[in-house]
Amino acid sequence: MASIGAVVAKPLRAAKHGDRTFTSIAFLSMLWLALAFAILCLGVLLVDSFLDGRTRLDSNLLTRYTSRVLPDRAGARAAILGSAWVIATTAVLAIPLGIAAGVYLEEFADPRRWYNKVIEVNLSNLAAVPAIVYGMLTAGFALAIGMERRIVLAGGIALALLVLPVIIISTREAVRSVPQEIRHGSLALGATPLQTIWRQTLPAAIPGIATGAILALSRAFGEAAPLLLLGGLVFVTYDPTGLNSGFTTLPIQIFNWASQPQLAFQQVASAAIILMLVMLLLMNAIAIFIRNRYQNKW
């Protein structure tokens, strides 16, 4: 509390007369207001979710399936497992491809060649494409090759396409920050470029890549739109049995519950939201931990 007071009082005690004018202080107040508004919104959202959902933060939420018959005991088990399956699929598809593409673009591609320029522009465009379009792409793709649209694999592909640009970009940033000396030393010792990358550059860049990958996956975890397009709103009361099985995810389940008017579903939706937020915070915390602990300081 004392530090907040200090922060607030600092400009008022400003040495320069110019910072104590009415307009300056009014300006600063507006800035505080803006910041306070943002933080207030976050606070209200969290508090409101917690108040609504705290009665349902019980073991049933984790172990039971959603229920028509007993909405008070509805649970998110199918959604949690579905999310786990889909995110795992996404990770397996997107991370190796993303790292490979990022490594190529950063280490080997000559930026003056036209095709590499095209890839550059392309990547920044892809990162801004609305998520639902990736769902449409996957739907079209699934149709073309005769794959069912409502299965885990299709969901994994859609989300992998969504996060691929992000992983590529963060791989590039991580690889770029590895100093050239490391590479030169390795080459001087007789390693081939690929060996250099595999044994020196990449391991050095792993913390940055891991951070980027975790943040990308946490984004995928929270996405519902592309998956809605593939499978629609499905009332699912079973665990996914494999890549070929139907599924639902936490965001979809929350969307489903939010559309039901009964109070019991509202409460369980709030509880599921708390669950999701906790998991997301955890993922973000892990990413920050990795970054702080393992980041190499050159």
Partner 1 sequence: MSITENRGGSSDRTGLRAGGSKTSLRSSSKRYGEKLAMGVLIGAAGLSVLVTVGIFFALLIPSISFFREVPVLDFLTGTRWAPTFNNPDFGVLPLIVGTAWTTLIGLVIAVPVGLGAAIYLSEYAPNRVRNVLKPILEILAGIPSVVYGYFALFYVAPVVLKGWFGLEIGTFSVLSAGLVLGIMIIPTVASLSEDSMSAVPQSLRQGSFALGANKMRTTMRVVFPAAISGITASIVLALSRAVGETMIVALAAGTRAQVTTDPREAAQTMTGFIAQTATGESVPGSLGYNTLFAVGLLLFLITLAFNIIAGIIVRRYREVY
Partner 2 sequence: MVLSLGLAACGGSDEPGGDGDTSVSGEIVVDGSSTVEPLTSAAGELFGEENSKVNVSVATSGTGGGFEKFCAGETDISDASRPIKDEEAAICETAGIEYTELRVATDALTVVVSKDNDFITCLTLDELKKVWEPAAEGKVTTWDQVNSAFPKEKIDLYGPGTDSGTFDYFTDEVNGEEGASRSDYNASEDDNVIVKGVGGSANALGYFGYTYFEENASTLKAVEVDSGDGCVAPSAETSADGTYTPLARPLFIYVKNASYADKPEVAAFVDFFVASDAEIAEVAQFIPLNDEQRTELETALATLKG
Q: Which range binds partner 2 by CB under 8 A, 12-20, 111-119, 170-178, 257-265?
A: 257-265
- Is 130 a binder of partner 2 (CB under 8 A)? no
- By CB under 8 A, the residues from 216 to 255 that bind partner 1 are 218-219, 221-225, 228-229, 232-233, 251, 254-255
261 is an interface residue for partner 2 by CB under 8 A:
yes
Closest contact distance (angstroms) between CB of 292 and partner 2 is 41
Shortest spacing between CB 58 and partner 1, in angstroms: 20
According to CB under 8 A, which residues from 5 to 64 bind partner 2? 63-64
Cα-trace Rg, the chain: 24
In whole angstroms, how close is the CB of 89 to partner 2 at the nearest point? 19
Residue 244: both structure tokens together: 């070929």
Q: Does 111 bind partner 2 (CB under 8 A)?
A: no
- Give least dist CB 75 to partner 1, A: 18
CB 168 within 8 Å of CB 126: no
Say which entry of partner 2, partner 1, none residue 199 contacts (CB below 5 to 8 A, set by partner kind): none
Residue with tokens 């979809």: 252
Q: Select from 1, 3, 188, 190 the one that contacts partner 1 (CB under 8 A).
A: 3
Assess 143 for contact with partner 2 (CB under 8 A): no
253 touches 76 (CB < 8 A): yes
Provide φ and ψ at 109, rounded to 5°: -80, 135
Considering only residues 45 through 104, tell me which ones interact with partner 1, judged by CB under 8 A: 45, 48-49, 52, 97-98, 100-101, 103-104
CA angle 279, 280, 283 (to 5 degrees): 90
Q: Are 49 and 273 in contact (CB under 8 A)?
A: yes
Closest CA to 216 of 164, 155, 273, 278: 164
Q: Which of 29, 259, 292, 295 binds partner 2 (CB under 8 A)?
A: 259
Q: What is the closest distance, in whole angstroms, from the C-beta atom of residue 63 to partner 2 in the complex?
A: 6
136 C-beta neighbours (distance < 10 Å), count: 14
Rounded to an integer, what distance in angstroms lies between the CA atom of residue 102 and that of residue 169?
Answer: 7
Q: Which is nearer to partner 1, 237 or 284 (CB)?
A: 284
Give the tokens for residue 46.
């969290």
d(CA 257, CA 251) in angstroms, rounded, equals: 10
Q: 3-state class of 113 per DSSP?
A: coil
Which stretch in 20-28, 118-126, 158-166, 258-266 sits in contact with partner 2 by CB under 8 A? 258-266
| Spatial separation of the C-alpha atoms in residues 278 and 46, rounded to whole Å | 11
Q: Which two tokens stand for residue 171?
A: 């791989």
| C-alpha span between 73 and 65 (Å, rounded) | 8
Q: Is 266 in the site for partner 2 (CB under 8 A)?
A: no
Q: Residue 281's binding partner, choosing from partner 2, partner 1, none, with beta-carbon cut-off 5 to 8 A by kind?
A: partner 1
Query: Using CB under 8 A, which residues numbered 153 to 192 contact partner 1?
Result: 161, 164-165, 168, 172, 176-180, 183-184, 187, 192
Q: Name, in order, each residue with C-beta under 8 angstroms of 296's C-beta and a sequence gap of 6 or more.
A: 204, 207
Which residue ranges make up the site for partner 2 (CB under 8 A)?
63-65, 67-69, 75, 77, 231-238, 241, 245-246, 259-262
